[in-house]
Structure 1
């Protein structure tokens, strides 16, 4: 009798045991994760004692709320832990149902085929496995207990393994972007081939996964020493109802806990990020990547917004304006080189002491340079959107990635196409990424990507695409062909090499230490651009070509505020020795102003509907637009106005510091005129642009 009692010690309901163990682990590792993220924060991050206590305390509540909601799959799993399904009648009914489902997905055009991708294959494997596993348990009762034991411990193991993977992923994501999971993580989930390849090439993933497996096994063995899962007679119908009711009550409370903690905002953006739960942020980002502007942002009356926008964009009553003062017979070629992640602070001109960009430094001495130009966003699609449409960034998802991305005559490609230009977008990767191919091919451009480069012409490639030298070589061949056709050309080239995993052809640049770092990749990209310009200089079309070198965005956008101005500062060089005189321009301006300025500079008379203006015009009003997915910024003078969801308006007083950064302090009395300007511009672009 004593032995029987001894055997019963530590036996617990499996659902309760998994939930308690997981929640304890989730809270402990969540606390430790915040410590690690604090210690690995960007250089400008700092935390007072009060902020540290706050972010750790609020963080525990955030993790508790999300931990409870993560038990939802367990509730579904719990329903299957019963004995009645093995009764003769119930068992055969289940057998017939599963077999019918397998026949449906294998022999007919199923709903999974409509979804496409790997869904049909996954459905066949899953349903086939369920049929095999249930048949074995139904017909061989002796294996049921062992099967359930394996299933329970496997479920517990999967929970622990996935949580450890997510935790490791958060650390990597934080080091790359300085934020918890957000829209970028959602985007990356869509492009699994590139992202998984990038991760495999950038990090020691196999050793990391082995370590996570060992930790998972260790945690399960440690937790199972005294407490074992009960395998039979798990619940009665009444007990099941009680368990589900208790969980439902906890889940409702957890939802409000997460809502409350996520609504809390700190003046220190790092505190706001760290006190939130990464998994919760991911779910919110997944749900809200398309924001309904009129429901989430502060609004002006429609006619007031349109009138103010027309005034700020210098548009006529019909919503258009004329750029360029004459149409000449000389139509210079235009080559727009959009460089991946080229922050201004990589260049010697802006204070860098490492001599990373000798080629760009040389071009800057011989070209037209905009020294205070700011990126519109923090992703490649934001830069491409700004340069091709010349309007402020859209709220939520970029226009490029939306289904409704046919902008008609609004794009630069369409404008130059009407002037007789052959317009092309050249990209070293697969243009389906970020929907680039779809957008450019339907907005006046011919798309040329990795698939158009012969294998013999690829000297080096990684998961993102061919190296910069290869796409530049393809560009030269394309421009030669354009010249033979007798048409002027406008080409936008998007580079890839200055991107993690920072790999490129060996022997091109001299690097001390690890060759696969951001600085080394910048050095290689600079080398490739210099080589491209030298090769182009030997072409017949060179003297009639204007080259613009500009970044798509900065290497990092993380900072204490949601929109740290210095993290949007990018270089922009216009180089054309025979056409454009060297000059430096110190006006504050935006990515959206670049192409209107080029059209005006080259005297290409065009009727456009751009927000962007000619920076060189004496009537140009210095201002810049910069945004994340949710925060929409407008910089004018020493004030940065930020519009955010839930109709929040914040304004900061901006003061430049000696190290090139800016001190941004919230103001108690916002300049309402600047607020209305920001509202008008963003409201028009997000609601009325295509309708006008």
Structure 2
């Protein structure tokens, strides 16, 4: 019998094999060598991925304009540089606390603080990137300081967002919540990390880590740190904004608010005497004597002297650009304005100074030149004793009033007007039973009915008056009463339909005005504050600054003005036509005193670019870059740049620079005003 063969069974493993580590575990294992800095590195890596993914998505969305520049690759590389600046800014606050909290006694607090900070910072990045497409759609740029400024008006803004951008709003909130949950999951393993290393290793490494973060924020070895102008690689400002990220864009805009008074110095510097000499020479006027307490104060001799000066009504139309006026090359949605233009002075080449309502207000009512800063309607030093048309008229016994359909505190209008010559304000709280009320106040019909009633009453009482009427129906979400107009677009809530309704209301008002007793004694100006959406792929989209303007009423004859004109020319011209002899500090031209063949000039502030146009010649001033020369082709409605500087290019650019620097200086030194009434009386004696 063969010997038995004993086969041993394989031994059973006493321990179950561990599953392979997850991607999240491997991620945190890779970060472990960074010790207490691991959560900050995690935030930087995640932030860079989020911002790069957003930029790629935005570039694909706007690919036609991106491709036209030919710099898509550079945009991505420079975008990473900008993103390093932003994540560096997020890292610095907790990094400053690391030498104290990242030690053994403070380890638990350090873990929780950096966990919460990373989730907050990453969620903020996502939130602003999600808000970016809607903001670009409305303003043709990434979120900037407007994103913050409008937070002061939650009722109007929330109503506008809910009614006009509901899908964007809800989608943004949902995706932001999902992102917050995802980042919470990403950072959760950090809460269980034990402290490793010794205190001396932390304190020895900290200066190096801090300097590395500081260099990421500075992003250059030049004498000035990186700013958005460094990434302006094309003449298309929207494409330039895609290189940035929205958090840095907003942060930098907020930071720049403290430089408001010297804002125009981003274009260059010039002595005060040279500024004044250049500006007055451009107007063909003699400069006041050196040392004058108010260096731009001049005496207006009216071209139409009158025994009894006219009353004045200014109708400032919200967002009514030339794009909506058929005779100016736009859409046929303003038939009433087209009829009215045959009854007065019609401006064929009138340009807004900026892109916001407050910029139009400062130009039309104060004749103030634009700057890269906020409008003086909002700035602190101009809330009193600052020139506006209302002040010289008030001193002559005029009743001065502002009539608006919305809330007059919006954009600080009430404060600015009350402090600078306006004695009476009517806003939406003063309409007891309006026909229609939307997000931005009562309808334009309600507004004009109230204006007609007030003007009629003033005239019946024998009071001279200046009335500023500011419309609001042509504003997103474009709400207006049903059944008033034949819709231009099939969907009601569109800008074209809102403009057509605003035009309808304007026509009804002038039908009443022409039949009223006050017509023969009153001068009217109808002008837009700005176009509805100012955008384009040139350094300054001049075609979107083109606006309609019409002066009519009293004895004003029909006339076409073909000269290039600016909103700042209107208040001087109005005073002259009214028959008002007065001192004023305005830089605008009296168009009623000029020959018809004068080529004219206009200035336009577009973000941080400043365009100065004389006839069809244009120079664009840009921060920390040489002037850009070109021509505006009116037939094609396009600014063509890239030409070599003209023979007088230096003098041309100096004129532009002088006009850009003057308003900032006048504001800063509080020189844009009339002499106070005691001084004026003494001078008269």
- TM-score, normalisation: structure 2: 0.82
CA shift for structure 1 position 583? 1.6
Aligned partners of 2:55 and 2:245 also within 8 Å: no
Q: Which runs of 5+ in 1 are unaligned?
A: 87-143
Cα distance 1:687–1:381, how it changes in 2: closer, same or farther (>3 A)? Answer: same
Looking at structure 2, the residues matched to 466 and 247 of structure 1 have their Cα atoms a distance apart, in angstroms, of 57
1:303 aligned to which of 273, 286, 311: 273
Work out whether 1:390 is the aligned partner of 2:367: yes
Looking at structure 1, the residues matched to 146 and 585 of structure 2 have their Cα atoms a distance apart, in angstroms, of 30
Stretch moving more, 209-218 or 431-440 = 209-218
CA shift for structure 1 position 691? 3.6
Looking at structure 2, the residues matched to 680 and 339 of structure 1 have their Cα atoms a distance apart, in angstroms, of 30
Aligned partners of 1:422 and 1:490 also within 8 Å: yes
Cα distance 1:675–1:228, how it changes in 2: closer, same or farther (>3 A)? Answer: same
Output one character per residue of 1:303-357: Cα deviation in whole Å (capped at 9) or x when no partner.
232223223343552541323145423433221111111111111112234x221
2:484 aligned to which of 483, 505, 508: 508
Looking at structure 2, the residues matched to 49 and 379 of structure 1 have their Cα atoms a distance apart, in angstroms, of 27
- Partner residue of 2:246? 278
Q: Which runs of 5+ in 2 are unaligned?
A: 1-13, 290-296, 673-685
- Partner residue of 1:170? 132
Work out whether 1:610 is the aligned partner of 2:586: yes
- Partner residue of 1:337? 315
CA shift for structure 1 position 33? 2.5
Looking at structure 1, the residues matched to 106 and 482 of structure 2 have their Cα atoms a distance apart, in angstroms, of 63
Looking at structure 2, the residues matched to 654 and 520 of structure 1 have their Cα atoms a distance apart, in angstroms, of 33
- Partner residue of 1:288? 256
- Partner residue of 1:563? 540
Stretch moving more, 32-41 or 5-14 = 5-14
Work out whether 1:213 is the aligned partner of 2:177: yes
Cα distance 1:468–1:256, how it changes in 2: closer, same or farther (>3 A)? Answer: same
Aligned partners of 1:450 and 1:466 also within 8 Å: no
Aligned partners of 2:618 and 2:632 also within 8 Å: no
Count how many residue pairs are aligned between Structure 1 and Structure 2: 625
Q: CA RMSD in A?
A: 3.4
- Partner residue of 1:67? 87
- Partner residue of 2:8? none
1:37 aligned to which of 48, 58, 70: 58
Stretch moving more, 540-549 or 488-497 = 540-549
- TM-score, normalisation: structure 1: 0.81
Whichever of the two has the greater Rg, that structure is 2
Query: Residue 196 of structure 1 aligns to a residue in which SS?
Result: helix
Query: Residue 147 of structure 2 aligns to a residue in which SS?
Result: helix
Work out whether 1:252 is the aligned partner of 2:214: yes
CA shift for structure 1 position 238? 4.1
- Partner residue of 1:471? 447
- Partner residue of 1:116? none
Looking at structure 2, the residues matched to 301 and 56 of structure 1 have their Cα atoms a distance apart, in angstroms, of 41
Query: Residue 613 of structure 2 aligns to a residue in which SS?
Result: strand
Stretch moving more, 65-74 or 77-86 = 77-86
- Partner residue of 1:231? 192
- Partner residue of 1:114? none
- Partner residue of 2:73? 53
Cα distance 1:278–1:415, how it changes in 2: closer, same or farther (>3 A)? Answer: same
Stretch moving more, 25-34 or 393-402 = 25-34
Looking at structure 1, the residues matched to 566 and 63 of structure 2 have their Cα atoms a distance apart, in angstroms, of 25
- Partner residue of 2:164? 202
Cα distance 1:36–1:268, how it changes in 2: closer, same or farther (>3 A)? Answer: farther
CA shift for structure 1 position 207? 4.2
Looking at structure 1, the residues matched to 467 and 571 of structure 2 have their Cα atoms a distance apart, in angstroms, of 12
Aligned partners of 1:337 and 1:493 also within 8 Å: yes
1:550 aligned to which of 505, 524, 527: 527
Cα distance 1:49–1:542, how it changes in 2: closer, same or farther (>3 A)? Answer: closer
Looking at structure 2, the residues matched to 438 and 173 of structure 1 have their Cα atoms a distance apart, in angstroms, of 28
Query: Residue 163 of structure 2 aligns to a residue in which SS?
Result: helix
2:376 aligned to which of 399, 402, 418: 399
CA shift for structure 1 position 590? 0.5
Output one character per residue of 1:174-214: Cα deviation in whole Å (capped at 9) or x when no partner.
11111123232242244344333332332122344124323
Stretch moving more, 447-456 or 372-381 = 447-456
Cα distance 1:372–1:243, how it changes in 2: closer, same or farther (>3 A)? Answer: same
- Partner residue of 1:265? 232
CA shift for structure 1 position 386? 0.7
Looking at structure 1, the residues matched to 262 and 141 of structure 2 have their Cα atoms a distance apart, in angstroms, of 24
Cα distance 1:75–1:656, how it changes in 2: closer, same or farther (>3 A)? Answer: same
Looking at structure 2, the residues matched to 617 and 46 of structure 1 have their Cα atoms a distance apart, in angstroms, of 46
Equivalent positions of 1:297-446 (< 5 A) are 297-313=267-283, 314=285, 317=288, 319-325=297-303, 327-353=305-331, 355-406=332-383, 408=385, 410-446=387-423
Cα distance 1:429–1:42, how it changes in 2: closer, same or farther (>3 A)? Answer: farther
Cα distance 1:154–1:200, how it changes in 2: closer, same or farther (>3 A)? Answer: farther
Cα distance 1:683–1:662, how it changes in 2: closer, same or farther (>3 A)? Answer: closer
Output one character per residue of 1:577-617: Cα deviation in whole Å (capped at 9) or x when no partner.
x5222221111011011122222233333332221112232
CA shift for structure 1 position 76? 7.0
Cα distance 1:41–1:580, how it changes in 2: closer, same or farther (>3 A)? Answer: farther
Query: Residue 548 of structure 1 aligns to a residue in which SS?
Result: strand
Query: Residue 34 of structure 1 aligns to a residue in which SS?
Result: helix
- Partner residue of 1:599? 575
Output one character per residue of 1:628-680: Cα deviation in whole Å (capped at 9) or x when no partner.
3533332113322233444x441322141534333233534561222222233
Cα distance 1:260–1:391, how it changes in 2: closer, same or farther (>3 A)? Answer: closer
